[in-house]
Structure 1
Amino acid sequence: MRRYNGCSQILVTGGAGFLGSHLCERLLQEGHQVLCVDNFFTGTRRNIEHLLDHPRFELMRHDVTVPLIVEVDEIYNLACPASPVHYQHNPVQTIKTSVHGAINMLGLAKRVGARIFQASTSEVYGDPDVHPQPETYWGRVNPVGVRSCYDEGKRCAETLFLDYHRQYGVDVRVARIFNTYGPRMHPNDGRVVSNFIVQALRGEPITLYGEGLQTRSFCFVDDLVEGFVRFMRHDGPLPGPINLGNPREFTIVQLAEQVINITNSKSPIVHRPLPSDDPRQRRPDIGLAQETLGWEPQVQLHEGLVRTIAYFDELLRAGH
């Protein structure tokens, strides 16, 4: 396997998605050859259109639930719808993407000797009774709820990654991603940041579920991608899953107020019933990432929101 001081052949599944497109961009900037694989269920060509003519970028339409035979040095497995609106649309396909996709990508990594990264999620902690959540916490997840296709699919994928490492020696990295936002989020993904921004820019009522006192921690996409790359470059003892997210915590009401202020929106705030299994609080303990990778987020929420709002404003003006 070619190591990291030169050009590597890197496969990014879900590469036309929100996170994947930013990762592809970063890897190209570092001089690598990038194979972007996506079935365009939630990813869009718009996200990677500016990369299509790049001499080291290749796009392949493919579903990871089907085996893929390519020659690569590294694999970033990001394929899976990540918002409740999208992953609940076809829950069986969602869990197939997490489980069959993991098996197929791990099989590929095993065959070619590639290091492989799994985009896991803070949803493995469910509605936590430990706060903030360290990697040692096993979680509190409903295995049969409407969110289970995603939560349990990702938990099973983590099991597969660690078992492929223990049984076959596959070189794995598992990152548990907390709420992330930034340009190229899908405008209709139902996530709180994109929801609030689109509603504010359109002058529509801003929808809060429950009292809006549930908390989240919001990480800007550039910080997250930096964490991805540092984790993949880490050659020390396998640290197990690592939390990647911003440990600063905000209530949903505070987020709504920031969005309204930045957009100068006149949108009123309206309340709706809390969705089933919606976590009350979510905040990462990133001590392991700080110690192991020297990583912590740099972009403050206000700065990140300004950049994200500018993207959505342009998108909506263009009629998307």
Structure 2
Amino acid sequence: MSKRILITGGAGFIGSHLCERLIAEGNEVICLDNLHTGRKKNISHLLNNQGFEFLRHDITDPLKIEVDQIYNMACPASPVHYQSNPIKTIKTNVLGMMNMLGLAKRVNARILQASTSEVYGNPLEHPQNESYWGNVNTIGIRSCYDEGKRVAETLCFDYHRNHYVDIRVIRIFNTYGPKMLPNDGRVVSNFIVQALQGNDITIYGDGSQTRSFCYVDDLVDGIISMMEKDNFTGPVNLGNDGEFTVKELAEHVVRLTGTKSKIIYKDLPSDDPSRRKPDLTLAKKELNFQPKVKLEQGLAKAIEYFKQNLN
């Protein structure tokens, strides 16, 4: 049955893919974005669709609207952007979350919160499962995002316990693919853009730190599965549990782009996690979630996108 769905941050990287998928499934989608890091270009092909509506709005301001479901994807997710205005990042995660939960309560909508693997901080457990409480610096340069997202999770569960709001909480691990911003400072887009422009590929640290890279289509499958799953609030990890060093990622990008760029090393930023890999046991059990796209396949698609959109 068709639903009326609000996607906050809907013009962003992941949000725009979600808009496409939910429109294709026959739903009515309201895409809300303040265009701080989202781009109208990401959703321009949907604007003539009768079931699609774009609303320029900031979730730190209250919103009155009638919807069946809310996907709360609003918040800059790359360190470059969330650190550029840390107080705004905190407000989006706290005031914005309160506004969206208040809306869900008023209209009796199910709400999914896009939380993050950053709630685990620089983890002392590996891989990270949902019962791990994390190792987070409360006063570091990443804290506006890490702690903001942790408070957002707290708010979700307090609204659920106190007001019976129907919540879903996902923790997103590193995700990549078409529609990433070329200047977002994330490792995949950084390496691809540097390679395509013939610049040195910059690794911070010695490249031994690990990440797990999930292609965006796989992530969207998991997000929608979580929204549609009854009687399961989460939190649940979503991502890919293949683990690669940052140096291995750089070498893949060099090979796939055919660049003559050299790999160079710079100092590691503070609070940068040394290892990051999701334990997907719960996602597989509850959502039958299984990422399908291999890193090389996904990188090839991302490289093609950047080739066509770098100008």
User: Which category of TM-score, normalised to the shorter sequence, fits these structures?
Assistant: over 0.9
Q: Structure 1: which amino acid aligns with 2:5?
A: I
What is the aligned partner in structure 2 of residue 85 from structure 1? Answer: 80
Q: 1:202 aligns with which of 178, 184, 197?
A: 197
Quote the Cα distance in structure 1 between the aligned partners of 2:228 and 2:118.
25
Task: State the Cα deviation string for residues 284-315 of structure 1 (Å, max 9, x = none).
Answer: 00000000010110000000000000000000
CA distance in 2, matches of 1:46, 1:201: 21
Provide the identity percentage. Answer: 63
Is 1:285 the equivalent of 2:279? yes
* Residues 197-226 of structure 1: per-residue CA shift (max 9 Å, x gap): 000000000000010000000000000000
* Structure 1 segment 51-66 matched on structure 2, within 5 A: 51-66=46-61
Deviations 1:127-147 (A, max 9, x none): 000000000000000000000
Secondary structure class of the residue paired with 1:88: helix
Alignment-mate amino acid for residue 260 of structure 1: V
Q: Secondary structure in 2 aligned to 1:104? A: helix
Matched residue of 1:143: which SS?
coil
2:113 is aligned with 1:115: no
What is the root-mean-square deviation of aligned Cα atoms in Å? 0.5
What secondary structure is seen at the aligned counterpart in 1 of 2:206?
coil
Deviations 1:251-280 (A, max 9, x none): 000000000000000000111000010000
Provide the C-alpha distance between the structure 2 equivalents of 1:213 and 1:49, rounded to a whole number of angstroms: 40
TM-superposed deviation, 1:238: 2.6
Cα distance in structure 2, aligned partners of 1:265 and 1:55: 43
Question: 2:149: which partner in 1?
Answer: 154
Aligned residue identity for 1:216: R
Aligned-partner Cα distance in 1 for 2:206–2:264: 10
Match of 2:43, SS? helix
Q: How does 1:241-320 map to 2 (within 5 A)?
A: 241-316=235-310, 319=311
How far 1:17 sits from its partner (Å)?
0.1
Structure 2: runs of 5 or more not aligned:
none
2:204 and 2:269 in contact (8 A); partners too: yes
Query: Aligned residue for 2:138?
Result: 143
Aligned to 1:3: none
1:34 is paired with a residue whose SS is: strand
State which of 7, 14, 20 in structure 2 corresponds to 1:19. 14
Q: Which amino acid aligns with 2:94?
A: V
Secondary structure at the counterpart of residue 243 of structure 1: strand
Counterpart-to-counterpart distance in 2, 1:164 and 1:224: 26
Question: How far does residue 240 in structure 1 lie from its aligned partner after superposition?
Answer: 2.4
TM-score, length of structure 1 as denominator length: 0.97
- Tell me the distance in 2 between the aligned counterparts of 1:187 and 1:240: 32
Letter in 2 for 1:240: G
Q: Judge conservation of contact 2:6–2:31 (CA < 8 Å) in 1.
A: yes
Code of the aligned partner of 2:273: P
Deviation at residue 114 of structure 1 after TM alignment? 0.2
CA distance in 2, matches of 1:16, 1:80: 11
CA contact (8 A) 2:169 2:233 kept: no
Letter in 1 for 2:166: D
TM-fit CA distance, 1:90 = 0.3
Per-residue deviation at 1:239? 4.4
Match of 2:24 in 1: 29
Which stretches in structure 1 are left out of the alignment for 5+ residues? 1-5
Alignment of 1:42 onto 2:37: yes
Q: Deviations over 1:19-46 (max 9, x none)?
A: 0000000000110000000000000011
Residue 164 of structure 1: how far off its partner (Å):
0.5
| 8 A Cα contact 2:167 2:233, kept in partner | no
Q: 2:70 aligns with which of 62, 75, 83?
A: 75
d(CA) in 2 for partners of 1:84, 1:54? 34
Query: Counterpart of 1:23 in structure 2: which amino acid?
Result: L
1:9 aligns with 2:4: yes
Q: Tell me the secondary structure at the aligned position of residue 125 of structure 2.
A: coil
1:88-99 equivalences under 5 Å are 88-99=83-94
